[in-house]
Amino acid sequence: MQRNKTLLQSTLCGDNVLILNKVFEKKLITEREYNNLKSINKEDVEGHVIKLVDKIMNKGDETCQDFLHLLQTDEDIKTTYPKLKNIQLSVTRSLPLPIQASSSNEGGIQPNGLCVIINNETFMDGKVRRGTNNDAESLAKVFSWLNFRVLMCKDQTKDQMVQTLTCFASLRDLSQLQQLDVKEWSNDVFTDLQGDPQHGDAFICCVLSHGTKGVVSGIDSKSLSIQETITTFKATGKSPLTGKPKVFLIQACQGRQMQRGVLSEDLQADDSQSPFIPEDADFLVALATVEDYKAMRHPIDGSWFIQSLCEQLKERCPRGEDITTILHHVNNQVSLKEGFIQHDRAKQMPEVRFTLRKRLVLSPQAGSP
């Protein structure tokens, strides 16, 4: 964008209102920024466009990349600004290239990878996490639509969870899968495992359980550290997942406190390259709530976090949005929800952290999930 800034600005002056509206529709700017740009006084058309382009550039590489993609793909924009085709808009090396989680060969489309769900519903102390099966099915539907092979392990103790994670991290000893009673999502139901699983371009792990600060619980109420869960998949010279994105979605409380609502007006490194990557690279962990707080789950509809995640994936994956962008929308949607527990007003704030080195884009199959 820096190289072509002057050309872009002069070209987009042809209809400054259209490009402003398109940028807002794609959520590259906030509503407040949109209103501010729209109501600028004492500026000519060129001045409006200059301020818009500067605003985009100040938002960083990812927003710049999304803006260039918009200019290249939107039919209204291509029709309105035909001179854009004469401008070199290809993304330079300084911008992160996306990991497109989609593989194919002459035999047809292959699964992007595995989505493994650990779904703890009934605990040994008699407690039942009502609504969790709805979460599991929602995840299975959306990730199978995103061309993942979806497997589920139900009601596991802490040791069984460790065994499951260790098995799927390497897939070297597949005989363990029978002991773990792994089920597979097929024809809208969980059924017996259909053949040996294999790793693909990405790995998704969903843990649905109780939890406290920094841990999730087995059905025996023993705690498994979330950090230990992630460490199982660290990059090694022998791991089939080294260099591939590994996404962990954790639906579990992280404490006993209740989130309260507060009033708000408005809800670089060097370029040297190495053949080695850090062992902690390529992870994304999305937690239903921040530390010390509860995560809300409806006994019929399922949890706020998982249901919002599935909704946003269905809406935004067909648009080509990457997983971190989608999780920003999940964070916002969940933060706006409100419930009551024993007459107390309840809020929830998910947390996302990642070491992904590239954008992860999940490509859906044709049709609805």
Residues forming the active site:
210, 253
Closest C-alpha among 344, 327, 346, 326 to residue 336 = 346
Q: How many whole angstroms separate alpha carbon 297 and alpha carbon 291?
A: 17
Strand, helix or coil for residue 329: helix
Beta strands in the chain (DSSP E): 98-101, 103-105, 108-110, 113-119, 148-154, 183-186, 189-192, 202-208, 211-212, 215-217, 223-225, 246-251, 283-287, 297-298, 302-303, 339-341, 344-346, 351-354, 359-362
Q: How many whole angstroms separate alpha carbon 103 and alpha carbon 6?
A: 39
Q: How many whole angstroms separate alpha carbon 167 and alpha carbon 217?
A: 19
Q: How many whole angstroms separate alpha carbon 319 and alpha carbon 230?
A: 29
Q: How many residues does the chain have?
A: 369
Residue keyed to tokens 């509503």: 31
Nearest-5° Cα angle at 325, 207 to 208: 10
Strand, helix or coil for residue 353: strand
H helical segments located in 171-296: 176-179, 226-231
Q: How many whole angstroms separate alpha carbon 135 and alpha carbon 251?
A: 9
